[in-house]
A and B are shown apart, each in its own frame.
Chain A
């Protein structure tokens, strides 16, 4: 099998699994998850083979694997679709394949496979747990299996298909198709427990918010197609096409065509990767099952947004001169930096274990976007990959924590929120595997020096921003400090200290299907960083080749120069990471159940603002949602529909009624009916007049006949003979 054919086949197994499960095997939970995990494994295998061959190809950046077929005839030309694996795709494919496979395996344990059915579990609601009695006759309350188990695997298989399609495609059209498939799947999965009103609201919010970005992105794609006549990356990124785009004016705000397309495409990313101001959907997406959160936050959806801008970077940066950012890059630098600090501050004041992670995702995506905005292409890719690994790890870890605490909740029968970190504590001993892996993930997120992958990638971004844009550097460093702080706050509250509730005391380590993915991802969260160590880094530099820089950098037309090493960003990143971690531990080390959150004491009213996420939900509710509801309910339905349109219709009905009754009373009844009645009556009268001669006596009839005959004869005789 040739490599190109294999690339075409990578997205295929998950979509086949989706249809198989939906159409045939959905009644069998075992068969369904076997098919889904098997499909993920096949795609993973194909991806690994392709990546292996890519790494072993000499000058791969210049000779990527591509193949395409003509698809839609457009006039005299064809719209071609195809696949492309260049270094960027290979790296993306690497983390997608691994995280997707791990999430699939994890889902088996997360949805309590092998547990009994719940007593009153219903499709559309979280499993409530089941009562069982053991051989000794003791009654236990245990976790119960998800009622819509097969459906879940069908959906995430389709999700994986969307991501694989997006990653391997060689043009914006199929990328957009994959993009939208993921939009649909995120909608379906965020609202997986559709009987919960909050889940329904979250699914609609996610769908509509990303849709705002997608519309702009589609406009950008359309403009690009109009301007160049093609959507294939390699054609767009050729120097003549880029030059034409830069030199064409778009007619909007003095932007060049390249700049306007770049900004439109970037707005698509703002929606998909939850950048400010379209970030509101991502925290609410926590309503879905935890593997879905990991899927959305690490493996697929938000990474897809960043992947797209990285992919379009040659277009975004077309006309870039050092010291003078292009408009799309400027937009990315500003929005990315702002989002990084903005989301980091909110995360400090959240209590839900998953919500903290959600805001950290937004913040880290801001890092990537900001890095790309200042031209740090390789750093953005590096952070995208490491982030995917440690964020998938953290989400799966938090799911494991919640799962363990839920076990305790069922055991003790307490009425507490199993996701609130303040209800946890002391889980270190209860769930050792989860603790250690979560610790690795958290340290990677904070950028714990040397050991973790997050340090290397974040350091790279900081170093790049220090060299190119000092304000960005300062803000990102502050965001990195907050990141370390809230991560340690989370770890301390969840795992360290003593159990603050009975449920946390009775928490239990999760099954191997959940811990195995954690371990695998933890390995990557540490080891992947070693592939991107700057050559000039003290002591460690040069021990390992800077693989990421050489490999990913070769995607671009000219290999970006490796940064000159500087101690200032390194020291900064050491200080912010260790300082944040220490502060987080120090503040929360003695936290007791029922106390006020120390951050709340320190920040006062600012805390309330952060807790309420700067009131963005309320703001959007006031600006967009309520006017829309008002338009629909009051204006369209009540006024326009019921009053104006119904009013006109009712007026017509009334007038028609009046005309009708006039016609009936003035014409129909007297004239038409009168005539008909008169004819009938007269006929009746004549009839009763004549019936008197009907005696029934035959002889009278005969006499009558005879007389008449005689009379007629006489008449004829007179007329015919005597008259002549």
Chain B
């Protein structure tokens, strides 16, 4: 059986790729995709720990399902925001969206 650490390494790698995407990409859609990768890395972590540590309880799985639901909602809101910004500013580049400055 594949040891737990492999999953953890994989999930860490996936999280790092997602993080890099979030920090480095200009396209806001790509940043959203990076966030999805990070969320799914967390999900892998949750499910792996559940399977290896407390398989008799259902908490890990339930938690992962809630994360999916939240991620779906977040993507829906995020994409809506991006479309709205795009309509106003004709761009989805993250470093051009600097409205939060003082």
Q: A697-B95, A699-B94 are in contact. Are A706 and B23 (CB under 8 A)?
A: yes
Which of A691, A694, A697, A706 is the one whose CB lies under 8 Å from B94? Answer: A697
Which of A691, A696, A703, A706 is the one whose CB lies under 8 Å from B98? Answer: A696
Q: How far is the CB of A326 from chain B (nearest CB, A)?
A: 110
Q: How would residues 69 to 98 of chain B score, 1 for a CB under 8 Å from any chain A CB and 0 otherwise?
A: 000000000000000000000000011011
Q: How far is the CB of A69 from chain B (nearest CB, A)?
A: 94
Q: What is the chain B residue whose CB lies nearest that of A702? A: B23
Q: How far is the CB of A709 from chain B (nearest CB, A)?
A: 11
Taken together as a complex, chains A and B put the C-alpha atoms of A699 and B95 apart, in Å, by 7
Taken together as a complex, chains A and B put the C-alpha atoms of A139 and B30 apart, in Å, by 116
Q: How would residues 691 to 707 of chain A score, 1 for a CB under 8 Å from any chain B CB and 0 otherwise?
A: 10011111100110010
Asked if A703 contacts B101 (CB within 8 A), the reply is no
Residues of B in contact, count (CB < 8 Å): 13
B1 adjacent to chain A (CB < 8 Å)? no
Q: Which of B47-72 contact A (CB under 8 A)?
A: none
Q: How far is the CB of A528 from chain B (nearest CB, A)?
A: 114
Asked if B97 contacts A698 (CB within 8 A), the reply is yes
Taken together as a complex, chains A and B put the C-alpha atoms of A534 and B64 apart, in Å, by 144
Which of A695, A699, A702, A706 is the one whose CB lies under 8 Å from B101? Answer: A695
Taken together as a complex, chains A and B put the C-alpha atoms of A100 and B15 apart, in Å, by 123
B99 adjacent to chain A (CB < 8 Å)? yes
B residues less than 8 Å from A696 (CB atoms):
98-102
Q: What is the chain B residue whose CB lies nearest that of A691? A: B102
Q: Which of A672-718 contact B (CB under 8 A)?
A: 691, 694-699, 702-703, 706
Q: How far is the CB of A654 from chain B (nearest CB, A)?
A: 52
B residues less than 8 Å from A702 (CB atoms):
22-23
Q: How would residues 13 to 41 of chain B score, 1 for a CB under 8 Å from any chain A CB and 0 otherwise?
A: 00000010011100000010000000000
Taken together as a complex, chains A and B put the C-alpha atoms of A697 and B95 apart, in Å, by 6
Q: How far is the CB of B95 from chain A (nearest CB, A)?
A: 5
Q: What is the chain B residue whose CB lies nearest that of A687? A: B102
Q: What is the chain B residue whose CB lies nearest that of A690? A: B102
Q: What DSSP secondary structure best describes chain A's contact surface?
A: helix
Taken together as a complex, chains A and B put the C-alpha atoms of A699 and B34 apart, in Å, by 12
Q: How far is the CB of B24 from chain A (nearest CB, A)?
A: 8
Asked if B94 contacts A698 (CB within 8 A), the reply is yes
B residues less than 8 Å from A699 (CB atoms):
22-24, 31, 94-95
Taken together as a complex, chains A and B put the C-alpha atoms of A702 and B24 apart, in Å, by 10
Taken together as a complex, chains A and B put the C-alpha atoms of A555 and B95 apart, in Å, by 127
Asked if B94 contacts A695 (CB within 8 A), the reply is no
Q: How far is the CB of A701 from chain B (nearest CB, A)?
A: 8
Taken together as a complex, chains A and B put the C-alpha atoms of A163 and B41 apart, in Å, by 119
A residues less than 8 Å from B102 (CB atoms):
691, 694, 696
Residue from A694, A695, A699, A706 whose CB has the most chain B CB atoms within 10 Å: A699
A residues less than 8 Å from B95 (CB atoms):
697, 699
Q: What is the chain A residue whose CB lies nearest that of B19? A: A706
B residues less than 8 Å from A695 (CB atoms):
98, 101
Q: What is the chain B residue whose CB lies nearest that of A701? A: B100
A residues less than 8 Å from B19 (CB atoms):
706
A residues less than 8 Å from B94 (CB atoms):
697-699
A residues less than 8 Å from B23 (CB atoms):
699, 702-703, 706
Taken together as a complex, chains A and B put the C-alpha atoms of A167 and B22 apart, in Å, by 118
A residues less than 8 Å from B101 (CB atoms):
694-696
Taken together as a complex, chains A and B put the C-alpha atoms of A698 and B98 apart, in Å, by 8
B residues less than 8 Å from A706 (CB atoms):
19, 23
Q: How far is the CB of B100 from chain A (nearest CB, A)?
A: 4
Taken together as a complex, chains A and B put the C-alpha atoms of A564 and B73 apart, in Å, by 140
Taken together as a complex, chains A and B put the C-alpha atoms of A698 and B31 apart, in Å, by 11
A residues less than 8 Å from B100 (CB atoms):
694, 696, 698
B residues less than 8 Å from A694 (CB atoms):
100-102
B residues less than 8 Å from A698 (CB atoms):
94, 97, 100
Taken together as a complex, chains A and B put the C-alpha atoms of A102 and B31 apart, in Å, by 120
A residues less than 8 Å from B31 (CB atoms):
699
Q: How far is the CB of A649 from chain B (nearest CB, A)?
A: 57
Taken together as a complex, chains A and B put the C-alpha atoms of A702 and B23 apart, in Å, by 7
Q: How far is the CB of B75 from chain A (nearest CB, A)?
A: 17
Taken together as a complex, chains A and B put the C-alpha atoms of A695 and B94 apart, in Å, by 12
Q: How would residues 293 to 333 of chain A score, 1 for a CB under 8 Å from any chain B CB and 0 otherwise?
A: 00000000000000000000000000000000000000000
Q: How far is the CB of A157 from chain B (nearest CB, A)?
A: 90
Q: How far is the CB of B35 from chain A (nearest CB, A)?
A: 11
Q: How far is the CB of B33 from chain A (nearest CB, A)?
A: 14
Taken together as a complex, chains A and B put the C-alpha atoms of A695 and B101 apart, in Å, by 5
Taken together as a complex, chains A and B put the C-alpha atoms of A702 and B31 apart, in Å, by 12
Q: How far is the CB of A690 from chain B (nearest CB, A)?
A: 10
Q: How far is the CB of A688 from chain B (nearest CB, A)?
A: 10
A residues less than 8 Å from B97 (CB atoms):
698
Q: What is the chain A residue whose CB lies nearest that of B97? A: A698
Taken together as a complex, chains A and B put the C-alpha atoms of A706 and B15 apart, in Å, by 13
Q: How far is the CB of B78 from chain A (nearest CB, A)?
A: 12
Q: How far is the CB of B77 from chain A (nearest CB, A)?
A: 15
Q: How far is the CB of A22 from chain B (nearest CB, A)?
A: 81
Taken together as a complex, chains A and B put the C-alpha atoms of A524 and B62 apart, in Å, by 131
Q: How far is the CB of B62 from chain A (nearest CB, A)?
A: 28
Asked if B98 contacts A697 (CB within 8 A), the reply is yes
Taken together as a complex, chains A and B put the C-alpha atoms of A348 and B86 apart, in Å, by 122
Taken together as a complex, chains A and B put the C-alpha atoms of A201 and B59 apart, in Å, by 110
Q: What is the chain A residue whose CB lies nearest that of B28? A: A698
Taken together as a complex, chains A and B put the C-alpha atoms of A607 and B101 apart, in Å, by 111
Taken together as a complex, chains A and B put the C-alpha atoms of A691 and B22 apart, in Å, by 24
A-B contact pairs, 24 of them (CB 8 A): A691-B102, A694-B100, A694-B102, A695-B98, A695-B101, A696-B98, A696-B99, A696-B100, A696-B101, A696-B102, A697-B94, A697-B95, A697-B98, A698-B94, A698-B100, A699-B22, A699-B23, A699-B31, A699-B94, A699-B95, A702-B23, A703-B23, A706-B19, A706-B23
| Chain A to chain B: the 5 pairs with minimum beta-carbon distance, closest first | A696-B101, A696-B98, A696-B100, A697-B95, A694-B102
Residues of A within 8 A of B (CB): 691, 694-699, 702-703, 706
> Other than the known A694-B101, A696-B101, A697-B98, what 7 A-B pairs have Cβ atoms closer than 8 Å?
A694-B102, A697-B94, A697-B95, A698-B97, A698-B100, A699-B24, A699-B94
